[in-house]
Amino acid sequence: MNVKATPKAAAVSAAAAKSGAEILIQSLIDEGTDTIFGYPGGVLLGIYDVLYRTPELKHILVRHEQGAAHAADGYARVTGKPGVVLVTSGPGATNTVTGIATAYMDSVPLVVLTGQVSSTAIGQDAFQEADIVGITRPITKHSYLIRDVEKIQETIAEAFHIAATGRPGPVLIDLPVDVMRATGSYKPESCVSLPGYQPRDTGNPPQIEKAARLLSTAERPVIYAGGGVITAEASTELTLLARTLNAPVATTLLGLGAFPETDPLSLGMLGMHGQWTANTAVAECDVLLAVGARFDDRVTGRLDRFATKARVIHIDMDPASISKVITAHVPIVGHARPILSALLETVTPLNTSAWLSQIAAWKKEHPAITQPTDKRLSAPDVLRQVADIMGHDTIVATDVGQNQMFAAQYWGFTRPRTLLSSGGLGTMGYGLPAAIGAAIGRPDCPVVCITGDGGFQMNIQELATAVHYGLPVLIVLLNNGYLGMVRQWQDLFFDKRYAHTDLDPGNPDFIRLAESFGAWAKRVTMADQVRPVIEAALEVVDCPRVIEFVVSREENVMPMVPAGAATTDMLESELIKGVRS
């Protein structure tokens, strides 16, 4: 049992009578909520009336509920705290579904509060009724329907506890309007008692010793780090361990930033658009230490050819992720941080110099390079320059597609919680609202949104939100006039039959569009304009800034593991021959 008494709560005299809506808002504040991403509606009016009187709780009015969920997700990824969403019943609730699924796939803590019709009307197809608990059951870590005003407080406490601990994830709470209106008692403390939910923290010591023994025999070790390292705040321990073992580190997309890419031991990202060297090192390694990663099919490629020479140590918070895809020789369930600390105390330095020089040679021979197909800007060039100007504390939110993979390959992440990307679900439209959430969660950091002309249009309405709150997000729009990543697959695997991937004929004038929202906007078409325009954008501080880079129409992301192929069978740019000769 976990009894929490917060100073604020304790100040309230025992069992004060309040409305359900008041208890709800007070409980959110007790859990440390400072921001709600929301959108009002009929059944929420009572709650919004309490918010009106509670200025200390910031409410961000998004322009679409999907935006609220992604913004709360961005907020959660940069702060480590659950993001809170408040939406109305029916369509308000269903609009959050993609955002909830995105957070679920990437283990992001969210508390999603959905209005619901009166508990007496549930099941009668009332106006704006939707069974949102049923709809979201497979994409939430847990969910609630509150039928009793006296249960609000403990439900909120449980929801935050479940969302943020163990393997984090979204928790949905459905709030019937009559329960919000009812009068109940607010108690100075709440407790969480969940006998069925006891996430394991520290790993099993004999397993950790086994892992240390296995590592001590390694000649060609590789560390494969995922988003779980960032969630567990274990980047420092990971970095120290890699340096002690002289083991190179490959990260997943969500693991970028867990290990500095500037470190000579960094292999960069692995997987479908990972570095040739990262994939090859995993294929050749004799011990693979997987931490906070789940052997996603975008990482492993063809399974029977993945890391076949390796003994696998797998550290993960979620027992269900261990040996789900690849059998772990040494499974360790628990939080990455205490386990990596324990490993650090046990392992002895390894001499891996032969392995590291092999890797250095591979890196030289197989850099990630691409080939623009026309005289327009090259997206990788643009991103390198943006990264160079923006610096290491910048938070980057990407969309999905080529822009995302280019960002992953060329930005050079060095710090945890600086990359926000929809890895598991691959949600186009994630970038802009996530960047907004990041700008609110970390007002001290510059925030860049890297997006494509397709994804940008999927949640472009959130420009209004960024303008409304004066958020100086820098939007790097890589406009290739195509659904670029899909076109790339058509190019490579469907003989360039570009079926319905050309957006150019309908694309808006993004500059005038952004300006009409009240954003600062400039188009860049020439290479020598890239730097000056970025610098000019950075002079603007009180509103979103959009720079549209008109980039090569058919530049492909390389290298690439074709779907279903082994990660060692990578396609590379034609230009790679020039590098090697």
Partner 1 sequence: MKRTLAVWFQNRFSAIPRITGLFSGRGFVLESICIGSETEDGLTRLTLTTRGDDSLIERIVKQLHRLIDVIQVVDLTGAPSVERELALIKVQSPNRTQREIVQLAEVFRGRIVDMGARSVTVEVTGRSDKIDAAIDRFKPFGVIEVSRTGTAALKRDEACEKAGRAVVVGMV
Ligand X SMILES: Cc1ncc(C[n+]2csc(CCOP(=O)(O)OP(=O)(O)O)c2C)c(N)n1
Q: Should residue 165 be labelled a site residue for ligand X when binding is judged by CB under 6 A?
A: no
Measured from the CB atom, the residue of 249 and 256 that comes closer to ligand X is 256
Separation CA 443–CA 440 (nearest Å): 6
Q: Should residue 97 be labelled a site residue for ligand X when binding is judged by CB under 6 A?
A: no
Greatest Cα pair distance, the chain, in angstroms, is 79
CA distances, 5 to each of 33, 334, 366 (Å): 15, 27, 56
Distance separating the N- and C-terminal Cα atoms of the chain: 66
Q: What is the 3-state secondary structure (H, E, C) of 90-159?
A: CHHHHCCHHHHHHHHHCCCCEEEEEEECCCCCCCCCCCCCCCHHHHHHHHCCEEEECCCHHHHHHHHHHH
Q: Should residue 401 be labelled a site residue for ligand X when binding is judged by CB under 6 A?
A: yes
Helix 402-410, helix 379-390: angle, nearest 10: 50
Q: Should residue 71 be labelled a site residue for ligand X when binding is judged by CB under 6 A?
A: no
Three-class secondary structure of residue 39 per DSSP? strand
CA 449 to chain centre: 13
Measured from the CB atom, the residue of 174 and 399 that comes closer to ligand X is 399
Measured from the CB atom, the residue of 255 and 452 that comes closer to ligand X is 452
Size of the site for ligand X (CB under 6 A): 20
| Contact by Cβ (8 Å): 475, 435 | yes
Separation CA 308–CA 19 (nearest Å): 61
Three-class secondary structure of residue 422 per DSSP? coil
| Contact by Cβ (8 Å): 259, 236 | no
Residues 199-218 that bind partner 1 (CB under 8 A): 200, 204, 207
**Which amino acid is it at 8?**
K
User: Which residue in the set 31, 174, 237, 453 belongs to the binding site for ligand X (CB under 6 A)?
Assistant: 453
User: Which residue in the set 12, 61, 121, 133 belongs to the binding site for partner 1 (CB under 8 A)?
Assistant: 133
Binder of residue 455, out of ligand X, partner 1, none (CB less than 5 to 8 A by kind) = ligand X
- Classify the C-alpha dihedral 452-455-457-462 as positive or negative: negative
Q: Which residues contact 40 (CB under 8 A, 6 or more apart)?
A: 48, 88
Separation CA 360–CA 369 (nearest Å): 17
Q: Should residue 331 be labelled a site residue for partner 1 when binding is judged by CB under 8 A?
A: yes
Separation CA 518–CA 531 (nearest Å): 23
Q: Should residue 303 be labelled a site residue for partner 1 when binding is judged by CB under 8 A?
A: no
Separation CA 150–CA 253 (nearest Å): 43
Binder of residue 138, out of partner 1, ligand X, none (CB less than 5 to 8 A by kind) = partner 1
Least CB distance to ligand X at residue 255 (A): 20
CA 110 to chain centre: 12
Binder of residue 305, out of partner 1, ligand X, none (CB less than 5 to 8 A by kind) = none
Q: Should residue 121 be labelled a site residue for ligand X when binding is judged by CB under 6 A?
A: no
Q: Should residue 231 be labelled a site residue for partner 1 when binding is judged by CB under 8 A?
A: no
Q: Should residue 194 be labelled a site residue for partner 1 when binding is judged by CB under 8 A?
A: yes
Q: Should residue 333 be labelled a site residue for partner 1 when binding is judged by CB under 8 A?
A: yes
Q: Should residue 383 be labelled a site residue for ligand X when binding is judged by CB under 6 A?
A: no
User: Which residue in the set 112, 328, 483, 530 belongs to the binding site for ligand X (CB under 6 A)?
Assistant: 483
Q: Should residue 191 be labelled a site residue for partner 1 when binding is judged by CB under 8 A?
A: no
Q: Should residue 455 be labelled a site residue for ligand X when binding is judged by CB under 6 A?
A: yes
Separation CA 521–CA 66 (nearest Å): 24
Query: Residue written as tokens 């002289």?
Result: 246
Contacting range for partner 1; rule: CB under 8 A; set: 51-59, 175-183, 322-330, 419-427: 322-330
| Contact by Cβ (8 Å): 92, 42 | no
Query: Residue written as tokens 């992440």?
Result: 413
Residues 403-422 that bind ligand X (CB under 6 A): 403
User: Which residue in the set 197, 469, 489, 498 belongs to the binding site for partner 1 (CB under 8 A)?
Assistant: 197
Size of the site for partner 1 (CB under 8 A): 27
Contacting range for partner 1; rule: CB under 8 A; set: 24-32, 77-85, 320-328, 354-362: 320-328
| Contact by Cβ (8 Å): 401, 452 | yes
Least CB distance to ligand X at residue 501 (A): 7
Q: Quote the Cα angle for 409-532-397, to 5°.
A: 35
User: Which residue in the set 239, 266, 402, 556 belongs to the binding site for ligand X (CB under 6 A)?
Assistant: 402
Which tokens belong to 225? 């780090």
Residues 160-179 that bind partner 1 (CB under 8 A): 162
Measured from the CB atom, the residue of 428 and 436 that comes closer to ligand X is 428
Separation CA 381–CA 368 (nearest Å): 12
Binder of residue 342, out of ligand X, partner 1, none (CB less than 5 to 8 A by kind) = none
DSSP-derived secondary structure letter, 125: -
Binder of residue 306, out of ligand X, partner 1, none (CB less than 5 to 8 A by kind) = none
Q: Should residue 99 be labelled a site residue for ligand X when binding is judged by CB under 6 A?
A: no
Q: Should residue 564 be labelled a site residue for partner 1 when binding is judged by CB under 8 A?
A: no
Q: Should residue 94 be labelled a site residue for partner 1 when binding is judged by CB under 8 A?
A: no
Q: Quote the Cα angle for 51-26-43, to 5°.
A: 50
Q: Should residue 322 be labelled a site residue for partner 1 when binding is judged by CB under 8 A?
A: yes
Q: Should residue 323 be labelled a site residue for partner 1 when binding is judged by CB under 8 A?
A: yes
* Residue ranges in contact with ligand X by CB under 6 A: 399-403, 426-429, 452-455, 478, 480, 482-486
* Residue ranges in contact with partner 1 by CB under 8 A: 133-134, 137-138, 141-145, 162, 194-198, 200, 204, 207, 318-320, 322-324, 331-333
